[in-house]
Structure 1
């Protein structure tokens, strides 16, 4: 009887359907700077996933093949929204070296990148300057301005514009999974890629083997909870900046905290000019412009972006906001931060927007209460969606039961965002990095990478309370 049973089992295994083969055609990637072992391909997907048999668009993708015998695939979901995952694989290739001993690493250039040429380039590089509305009328006026600019972009290709949501990108990823013949995915998602990763988990829970979230945007919190977290993070980081200023008085001078608040209040009453430029900076502009440097100061112990900020504050106190304009201009192409339509196409479709003027006012009031140094910076992103011409197409929703445990990781700036997501999945774990930064895996932190690789390859989660620290290799 045992022999019969074993024979039957062998026969069943022999006739069971094998995993589908990789149906994609891989070849060298364009660009002399691309690594020689990086392979590129394309896949056709519907421009509108509600019409799967309709018009198609071509999605670009790439892979770093396993250097040993491949046991499967890890899918890198890029951030942004709109950052190229092909660039992640090219520029951060060495970070994947250990993982590649057993797995292929695959990524895509998502449909919300600027490189597909179906919308005018200015839709990704320009947008309205945001001034926080003080009245319901000003809120409506801002909405009319934003709607006009967004509608101009939408008119170029309405179906493509309307598909700029993380659910469409998640479905594109699943199409790639199917084309590669993979039954389940190992997902590595960074920054805004976490919205796509979590959306994938909601849409295709049975197709996830592992989900590693690294410093991700949290779509699952409501507007007020998100604002509360942003204000707390801003004040905590500014406190670290002030602590550094105490040891760098040659750069900061004395009393930086009080001086900053005085400067912001004065600029809100009388905007500060820029020498040789018609632009002026309000207190809101200063807060919004300063926040990236507060959040990400650069490598210790020099902290170049904190030094830059301290110098810009001194210059603004002397009546010239040009210090802010110089370092913001280098990153955005504008002397003031704009609300970029390209990013908003995804933010707004994913529901990261104000419900109405009342909710906006509630967030502003919360900021005045919780964030004496950065109350304005907490309202900026969602204001870019006021008056948006299409409704939310990828609303947040609860994660389904039955998901495998997740692993999250984050720095001082973003651990709380990630931890709030992974604690919703039973059995999950996090790694807290005791330092600055954003995107630990792609920034090469050996400690975090080791924990992530153990999870992605062998399903081994770190114990509760695991931490990593700068310049260490173990947690």
Structure 2
């Protein structure tokens, strides 16, 4: 109870002006009033674009601001017209665990001249990620894996996920629980104050919509023009959100199979959807019986669905996926097939643990609790096999969060009438369309732009109609009068 009261006091102080008496009382004034040391970013793309970077000091634990501090690294691309400058626009590319220093640079060609004139574009590596006091769990394998074909495979999954969770506890220690979304939202408010601003505008994609919604809920007075692209349903964030991806990705696999069947002369995987899908499921079965050796890698039925998941979500990568499966099929047939550079990189990411993978799970597990009982996951896996033959065992598999300590804070209940613009594609295989509708209901002051008949995750910069509406809102501050649907070809 005492700890909760301290946190509440710190949060109340954080929505007041920097240097106020309330902020001083909780010890947060030194964070709000800090002077930033801007330097070259040290990466060619940002430095060539004229960006600068700085480290922002924040408390590890906002309930103990006199305790340990960490740093959050940000980048800044200055507004092109100082006379018209309105303020700052922060961003987050998703994840959780996605580094974001370069996000605004990537989107800069999609912003209108009016937007570029008005905003300093702020990229950010969230706490625990990239250059911002990173979580380093030293995972030997990736955390997102399929359960495999049988109970023995699943038992291996249970042991693997328990081991991954323990590695995070061993390497990060007592600091681990504080790398969560609510603290990242508090960090954003410190960034706002350190930059001398009263409010922030924001563009977040995927998980970045959850972070943005949490910030709006916690700091409504500090939220300005907020864009949430490919939205997460805050009430299903975590384990339920992953399960929701199953049907959408199975449907995306159908679309990929149709595309591949039309190119059977190139990929030789089948002349219609049924044959292509049969080639996929047969390859997964073969990988279960005998892992496929290709180059330095061995690909089993826990890894192969993850490769499919990575690439089936975007029509632009259909050819890459088809080429990967052709190579793996040839390797399974015993042909001496070296992996292409793209497949080698993908397998390195899936078969060897990557820093951002552990960071993803650490943040999500610290945000919301997950079911603990391994039997419950197994029952869901078995029940899903008939309707989701490829992705059921993948999205229902047990994950590190089942072996994680309970979050130190209650998940944020998003329910407010703050203005925001939500962009959502009906065929999104990552954050399904229903999740955008749910966030819109939780934020009735928002407007929803629907993109029909598109299997895309990430609307801004991809769909001209939605990109134009976003730029209008960011430049003028006026939301559309009503929700609307973009016309697409």
Range that drifts further, 400-409 or 242-251: 400-409
Give runs of aligned pairs for residues 24-173 of structure 1, distance below 5 A.
Answer: 24-25=35-36, 27-31=38-42, 32-33=44-45, 34-68=47-81, 69-98=84-113, 99-116=115-132, 120=136, 123=138, 130=145, 132=147, 134=151, 141-155=159-173, 158-159=174-175, 161-173=176-188
Whether the 8 Å CA contact 1:234–1:374 is kept in 2: the answer is yes
In 2, distance between residues paired with 1:168 and 1:71? Answer: 26
Shift of the alpha carbon at 1:409? 3.3
In 2, distance between residues paired with 1:19 and 1:117? Answer: 26
Structure 1 residue 233 and structure 2 residue 248: aligned? yes
Deviations 1:311-360 (A, max 9, x none): 24532662579788964541462563758322221121122743432442
Residue 448 of structure 1 corresponds to 466
Residue 330 of structure 1 corresponds to 345
Change (3 A) 1:238 1:126: closer
Give runs of aligned pairs for residues 287-326 of structure 1, distance below 5 A.
Answer: 287-298=305-316, 303-312=318-327, 314-315=329-330, 318=333
In 1, distance between residues paired with 2:237 and 2:95? Answer: 21
Give runs of aligned pairs for residues 220-369 of structure 1, distance below 5 A.
Answer: 220-221=235-236, 225-250=240-265, 251=267, 252-254=269-271, 255-268=275-288, 270-275=289-294, 277=296, 279-282=298-301, 284-298=302-316, 303-312=318-327, 314-315=329-330, 318=333, 327=342, 329-331=344-346, 333-334=348-349, 336=351, 338=353, 340-351=357-368, 353-369=370-386
Deviations 1:131-166 (A, max 9, x none): 6383796676345422332222224xx32x322111
Deviations 1:32-84 (A, max 9, x none): 43245323333221011121232222322222222231123222123233333
Change (3 A) 1:214 1:67: same
Residue 7 of structure 1 corresponds to none
Shift of the alpha carbon at 1:462? 6.8
In 1, distance between residues paired with 2:157 and 2:292? Answer: 25
Whether the 8 Å CA contact 1:289–1:337 is kept in 2: the answer is no
Structure 1 residue 193 and structure 2 residue 211: aligned? no
Whether the 8 Å CA contact 2:206–2:232 is kept in 1: the answer is yes
Whether the 8 Å CA contact 2:177–2:407 is kept in 1: the answer is no
Shift of the alpha carbon at 1:230? 0.9
CA RMSD of aligned residues (A): 3.6
1:211 to 226, 231, 238: 226
Residue 11 of structure 1 corresponds to none
Whether the 8 Å CA contact 2:421–2:470 is kept in 1: the answer is no
In 2, distance between residues paired with 1:229 and 1:103? Answer: 36
Give runs of aligned pairs for residues 332-411 of structure 1, distance below 5 A.
Answer: 333-334=348-349, 336=351, 338=353, 340-351=357-368, 353-380=370-397, 383-388=399-404, 390-393=405-408, 395-410=410-425
Residue 441 of structure 2 corresponds to 423
- SS across alignment from 1:370: coil
Shift of the alpha carbon at 1:126? 5.3
Change (3 A) 1:296 1:337: farther
Q: TM-score, normalised by structure 2?
A: 0.78
Change (3 A) 1:140 1:124: closer
Whether the 8 Å CA contact 2:202–2:225 is kept in 1: the answer is yes
In 2, distance between residues paired with 1:125 and 1:53? Answer: 35
Deviations 1:447-473 (A, max 9, x none): 332111222332222743422547xxx
Deviations 1:84-133 (A, max 9, x none): 3221133443233531122222232221213245655x637855685638
- SS across alignment from 2:472: helix
- SS across alignment from 2:417: coil
Whether the 8 Å CA contact 1:329–1:336 is kept in 2: the answer is no
In 2, distance between residues paired with 1:291 and 1:29? Answer: 37
Deviations 1:213-236 (A, max 9, x none): 112444421767535521111121
In 2, distance between residues paired with 1:337 and 1:131? Answer: 15
Range that drifts further, 20-29 or 64-73: 20-29
Range that drifts further, 324-333 or 86-95: 324-333
In 1, distance between residues paired with 2:332 and 2:276? Answer: 11
Q: TM-score, normalised by structure 1?
A: 0.80
Whether the 8 Å CA contact 1:422–1:429 is kept in 2: the answer is yes
- SS across alignment from 2:101: helix
Q: How many residues align structurally?
A: 442
